Amino acid sequence: MLKKFNNIFYLISFFVFFSLVVKYYISEENISFLDKSRSLYFTSFENNQKNLPLLKSDTNNIIFYTNDLEEFNSKRKKRFWEKLISNKNE
């Protein structure tokens, strides 16, 4: 009997908690607070974006292309079955 009362109490407390949370998030006070904070963040973002310095790009000729695959293939020892399969006359 006590177990049923405990379960009922837990269930009721869960529903009360859930309903209070939903009521708070749907309330006009919370919605207006969210709108104000979003507009404040947006204006501060715009102000900060205007004050950012523009940096010169220094990424020219950074990437060097190498022929590592060809070097690896030339240094690698050829296996017998590779010679049988290849189309090249080596």
pLDDT tens for 19-52 read: 999 999 999 999 999 999 999 988 888 888 888 8
User: Is 43 within a domain?
Assistant: yes
User: Is 59 within a domain?
Assistant: no
Looking at the structure of the chain, the number of domains it has is 1
pTM of the model: 0.43
User: Is 49 within a domain?
Assistant: yes
Distance, CA of 41 to chain centre: 21
The two tokens of residue 4 are 């049923």
User: Is 60 within a domain?
Assistant: no
Q: How far, in Å, CA of 90 to CA of 83, rounded?
A: 8
User: Is 90 within a domain?
Assistant: no
Range of the domain at 72: 2-54+66-85
